[in-house]
Amino acid sequence: MLCYQRHTENAIRDGFVSTDHFEYPAAQFRGRNWRIRFGPQSDGNPVASARFGNRVIRSKEVFILTKSEPVARRVASRVVEAMTLLNGSSVLIPDLSDALDLQPDRAHKVKRLHVGYWSMDGFPLACRIVARLSHSLRHQYALAKFKLSSEYASFAWIDLDPSHSETIPRWHRAEDHVRLATAIVLAYSVLEELGLEVRASAKNPSSINGQWNPVVRKELEDRLERAGIDHSDPVVWNVRGGKSQLEAERPQYLYTKTKRTPWTRWSIRDRLVEIVDAIGHASFLRSKVSSHRLKPSWVRMLSAYDVANVQHLARRLFLGTLGYWPPYKILKKRYQPKST
């Protein structure tokens, strides 16, 4: 819900409600011609509250302060994109339409974009991300690409967790194959916007004699280090079900340094993969399978886990370049988990 007040600077109520605002250090969120503040909900009755010990802490609403309604709409849209990035999925992210006219609300002397509230953890960090990206079109494009990738295909964490959900089967429709492929292309393009993709050519290929080209690998590691990414910290690469033709075609050198996850067993073949190798896997899925002319025998083997792997890698690298990995590291010390 966007609400509108007449001041030198318009206070736009967007309906974003934060129940965890108290867990983050106080900060000013400023961008080009706008700023964000957190304040009490003007409706009187908060839609949500949080309990910390014996305290009940009221939620706060996100206000966008700007002279321009179009600017406020763009900022609200980017907050939604940042929440998608933090969640790694758009499954729980509502659609914030820019097509609706502002509606008057005489009771509060404001105007609204839409009726209702969206209450969720993470708004303070999402607003920080939007402020950080406000002066970088490259990062704004990367954020938009992640959101669009999630809109094409996105899977909730619980659906990917083998302890809660069965293995997601592959799809048979051509439309679904194209949807998964497009999601992978967009997610890998996030890496390109960040400058963290594999850079190889015919003269300088990514592999030599079935192994990483050491020059290409070292150059990628150097870029990761300059971006503030600890490439020694592995990522989880989901591998489920029997071995498919697509998996058999992947470069074997990308598997040489993998390790079993604690939950790897039977048809759950998840691995811990070095970040450089994960980028290599993502590059294969993008360049050989998902883009250009599609090879039916390969693209039909794409799964939900292939998409989630590339999206979660993009999320990990994006947040890492911003200094927000893991996301909870910015929480006040007393709210941080004792272990990861």
Q: What is the pLDDT along the chain (340 residues), one digit of tens a residue?
A: 444 444 456 777 788 999 999 999 989 899 989 999 998 876 656 666 777 777 888 899 898 998 888 898 899 999 999 999 999 999 989 876 554 455 555 555 555 555 678 889 999 999 999 999 999 999 999 999 999 999 999 999 999 999 999 999 999 999 999 999 999 999 999 999 999 999 999 999 999 999 999 999 999 999 999 999 999 999 999 999 999 999 999 999 999 999 999 999 999 999 999 999 999 999 999 999 999 999 999 999 999 999 999 999 999 999 999 999 999 999 998 888 876 4
Do 95 and 240 have their domain in common?
A: no
Identify the residue whose tokens are 């598997």: 255
31 Cβ neighbours under 8 A, 6+ residues apart: 75, 130, 131, 134, 135
Q: Which of 135, 166, 194 is the last residue of a domain?
A: 135
Looking at the fold, whether 172 and 131 belong to one and the same domain comes out as no
In a domain, 143, yes or no: no
| Cα dihedral 170→151→191→236 (10° resolution) | -50
Same domain flag for 271 and 224: yes
Which residue segment(s) compose the domain that 310 sits in? 148-322
The separation between CA 262 and the C-alpha centre of its own chain, rounded to angstroms, equals 25
Asked, for residue 263, whether it belongs to a domain, the answer is yes
Q: Which of 168, 33, 121 is nearest to 335 (CA)?
A: 121
- Residues 307, 163, single domain; the answer is yes
Domain-embedded: residue 2: no
**161 and 59 part of one domain:** no
Domain-located, residue 308: yes
Q: Identify the pLDDT of residue 68.
A: 85
Q: Are 58 and 51 in contact (CB under 8 A)?
A: no
Both 289 and 206 in one domain: the answer is yes
185 and 212 assigned to the same domain: yes
pLDDT for residue 9: 67
Out of 110, 135, 160, pick the residue that ends a domain. Answer: 135
One domain, residues 78 and 102: yes
Looking at the structure, tell me whether residues 155 and 282 fall in a common domain. Answer: yes
Taking only Cα atoms into account, the Rg of the chain, rounded to an integer number of angstroms, comes to 22
**Measured between alpha carbons, how far is 303 from 170 in angstroms, rounded to an integer?**
5
Q: What is the pLDDT of residue 51?
A: 73
Please give the Cα distance from 41 to 13 (Å, whole number): 9
287 within domain boundaries: yes
Report the first-to-last Cα separation within the chain, whole angstroms.
35
The predicted pLDDT at position 102 comes to 55
- Decide if 298 contacts 246 (C-beta within 8 A): yes
Residue 338 lies in a domain: no
Note whether residue 200 is domain-resident: yes
> Do 189 and 106 share a domain, yes or no?
no
What predicted TM-score, i.e. pTM, was given to this entire model? Answer: 0.93
pLDDT reported for residue 40: 86
Task: Give how many domains the chain has, as a whole number.
Answer: 2
178 contacts 133 by C-beta, under 8 angstroms: no
One domain for residues 102 and 18: yes
Verify that 127 and 227 share a domain, yes or no.
Answer: no
Q: Is residue 86 part of a domain?
A: yes
